[in-house]
Amino acid sequence: MPIRLLSPHTINRIAAGEVIERPAAAVKELVENALDAGARRIEVILVSGGIARIEVIDDGSGIPQGELSLAIERHATSKLADETLVRIATLGFRGEALPSIGAAAKLTLISRPKGQESAYKISVAGGDVIPVAPASAPLGTRAIVEDLFYATPARRKFLRKPAAEADAAERAVWRLALAAPHVAFRLVSDERVMFDVAAQDVPSRVAALFGRETAGAMLPLEAERDGVRLKGLAGPASLSRATMALQSFVVNGRPVIDPLLRMGLRLAYRDVIAVGRHPVAALWLEVPPEALDVNVHPAKTELRFADGNGVRSLLIGAIGRLLERPVSLAGAPPINAPRPPLTLSYAMPRPNAVARGFAETELSLLAPPQVRQFEPAIPEADHPLGAPVAQILDTYVLAVAADGSLVIVDQHAAHERLTEERLRAEFQAGRVASQPLLLPVVVDLTPIEAARLLGQADILQSLGLEIEAFGPGAVLVRAVPAALKEPDAAALLRDLAEEFAESETPVALEAKLDAALARLACHRSIRAGRRLAPAEMAALLREMEATPRAGTCSHGRPTFLKLTRAELETMFGRRGI
């Protein structure tokens, strides 16, 4: 085939795929346009996660009748006064979003700027323009996108389930609403009001979108360095979450998902947050425009800082100071509270004892001397994990088996697995015991999390967790799985909400259930750092022996280590390798 130039029509469709790869991207572009137009109030309506319909209504400057047809043309923008691409103060500037959406979908713009007698509208479907015609509408602009993949059906199959697309689109609006607290936002998704917030100051916006309780425990921070200003709120370590969902970064008014900033935040909390947990933060950065290149990524969510290291150390320094603050300011559990003295309790070998004979004495190092007596443990041959002889650091159970193997059990990991397996067995038998709460608990969440959990209420019910709606952003818990004893309902629900968030890759329902079970189990498990009685230790070992998959915790880490006699002998050079 000879080389030929593509028609503008085809070029537009190809480019559309790059800018509008999924509904969330279209939603983001349209809301950014509304913000660039100086809107004081923005309403977003999504149907089927935006795949079927996206509507963005603003009260901004509007598009004059004479410019409507230009607005949907490629590389047409009112926003780049000079073309050096250095000082970009608006969210948009490429003039690509509307033509891209118009090439792929059915797009209608209805707009009325101040001073114009009536509104006018223009439509474009799959690149074919329906000329400008009068319409009736209040001041501002209404953009309607129907059937996002109308002209590019092949792309449709790359879409995730509507729930996943809805989640991504809702988060995009959530991030933009955080970026512009001075603008009122209302988000409706499949007829459910996700949030409806007035123009407000930063702390109120964070409270509305992070949940009042979470926001209430966050601490303000402020720092400056080389013209870069950092402001916002960040959580104490005790507020950690299962995902990065409650991290918002806004740079020069633009919400970003930037690896450098995420990494900086992770580093700042490295020593105080457990592996796999994530801090909560809402941060605003003001960077001189010439120290920033937003042109890196078509969706403009990644940045290039002229001085990335400087920005990172600004962030790490500010969070570090915040984490050092005295507890009274924190309003949350202490992070740096003095730790209880380290105790190492162990059983002294009885004189002349062989591996299985242990005395009743327990010594305590570093701590005030205390002696606990317990019966010497006799390992039985059919107990491969042996009999407990000591607890180390109140975290590990040391046991000795009849064949002389040394067993070290991580009590938290082991118990977590046992609880999970018990819940799973109950679930598979269709009879998860549910424990009604005497006093139902109201849990304050973000509006998106609350809606997401309520959308999964049936599944949760089958897991023994009964919830119902309780006003915007709150959920009422009526019953919890009985196996969990007395879980912290708020912490449990927050973690579950994140588990039910649609991840980047589609996750089967079973996998979600598995994750939810693991999450539930984690909330029941005995903590590392709890002193166990010898009988409790023995019970733990026996249950592990009787439970499938007890060798690893639900995160895949081992629950116990075993050193056989042969391994010990090899280590001590008593036998060749």
User: Could you count the other beta carbons within 10 Å of the beta carbon of residue 449?
Assistant: 25
Q: Which does 262 bind (CB under 5 to 8 A by kind): Mg ion, ligand ADP, none?
A: none
Amino acid, single-letter form, for residue 263? M
Tell me which of ligand ADP, Mg ion, none is bound by residue 78, counting a contact when its beta carbon lies within the kind-specific cut-off of 5 to 8 angstroms.
Answer: ligand ADP
Say which residues have a Cβ less than 8 Å from residue 482's Cβ, sequence separation at least 6: 432, 433, 434, 435, 464
CB of 75 to Mg ion, least distance (A): 12
Number of residues that bind Mg ion (CB under 5 A): 3
Q: Which of 49, 92, 126, 127 binds ligand ADP (CB under 6 A)?
A: 92
Binding-residue pattern over the window 78 to 107 for Mg ion, x denoting contact by CB under 5 A: --------------x----x----------
DSSP letter for 377, please.
P
Tell which one of 62, 181, 236, 279 touches ligand ADP (CB under 6 A).
62
Order across the sheet with 466-469: list the strands.
434-444, 474-481, 466-469
- Restricting to residues 198-217, name those near ligand ADP by CB under 6 A: none
Q: For the chain, what is the radius of gyration of the CA atoms?
A: 29
In 230-373, where does DSSP find H-type helix? 259-268, 308-324, 327-330
Query: Tokens for 240?
Result: 């950690």
Q: Are strands 247-251 and 228-234 parallel, antiparallel or unpaired?
A: unpaired
Q: DSSP for 193-250?
A: EEEEE-S--HHHHHHHHH-HHHHHH-EEEEEEETTEEEEEEE--GGG-BSSSTTEEEE
Tell me which of 26, 44, 54, 63 binds ligand ADP, using CB under 6 A: 63
| 25, 43, 54, 61: which one binds ligand ADP (CB under 6 A) | 61
Return the residues of window 7-36 that contact ligand ADP according to CB under 6 A.
29, 33-34
- Does 33 contact Mg ion by CB under 5 A? yes
Instruction: Tell me the C-alpha distance between 55 and 183, whole Å.
Output: 17
With binding defined as CB under 6 A, does residue 71 bind ligand ADP?
yes
Judge whether 217 and 235 are in contact, CB under 8 Å.
yes
Element containing residue 287 per DSSP (H, E):
none
Contact (Cβ atoms closer than 8 angstroms) between residue 450 and residue 496: no
Residue 98 engages ligand ADP in binding (rule: CB under 6 A): yes
Least distance between ligand ADP and beta carbon 115 (Å): 14
Binds ligand ADP (CB under 6 A): choice among 48, 69, 78, 313: 78
Closer residue to ligand ADP in complex, CB, 140/236: 140
In single-letter form, the type of residue at position 403 comes to: D
Contact between 69 and ligand ADP by CB under 6 A: the answer reads no
- The owner of tokens 């082991």 is 414
The stretch near ligand ADP (CB under 6 A) out of 86-94, 197-205, 377-385, 500-508 is 86-94
Candidates 94, 192, 356, 372; binder of ligand ADP (CB under 6 A) is: 94
The residue with its CB nearest to ligand ADP is: 92
Residue 34 Rama label (left phi>0; alpha psi -120 to 50; beta): alpha
> If binding is defined by CB under 6 A, does position 163 make contact with ligand ADP?
no
Half-sphere exposure of 314 toward its Cβ, with a 13 Å CA cutoff?
25
Strand partners, 58: 42, 141
Assess 60 for contact with ligand ADP (CB under 6 A). Answer: yes
464 scored as a contact of ligand ADP (CB under 6 A): no
Token pair of 386 as six digits: 């042996």
Q: Is 534 in the site for Mg ion (CB under 5 A)?
A: no
Q: Which of the choices ligand ADP, Mg ion, none does residue 141 contact, using the CB cut-off of 5 to 8 A by kind?
A: ligand ADP
Q: Which of residues 106-145 bind ligand ADP (CB under 6 A)?
A: 141
Instruction: Kindly tell me which of 34 and 515 has the beta carbon lying closer to ligand ADP.
Output: 34
Choose which of 93, 210, 249, 560 interacts with ligand ADP (CB under 6 A): 93
By the 10 Å C-beta count (0-12 exposed, 13-18 middle, 19+ buried), 244 is classed as middle
- Region near ligand ADP per CB under 6 A, out of 17-25, 60-68, 163-171, 491-499: 60-68
Q: Does 280 bind Mg ion (CB under 5 A)?
A: no
The answer to whether 559 touches 545, Cβ cutoff 8 Å, is no
Closer to ligand ADP at the Cβ: 37 or 387? Answer: 37
Least separation, in Å, of the C-beta of 107 and ligand ADP?
10
Q: How far is CA 514 from the centre of its chain?
A: 18
Residues lying near ligand ADP in the complex (CB under 6 A) are found at 29, 33-34, 37, 58, 60-63, 71, 76-79, 92-98, 141
Residues lying near Mg ion in the complex (CB under 5 A) are found at 33, 92, 97
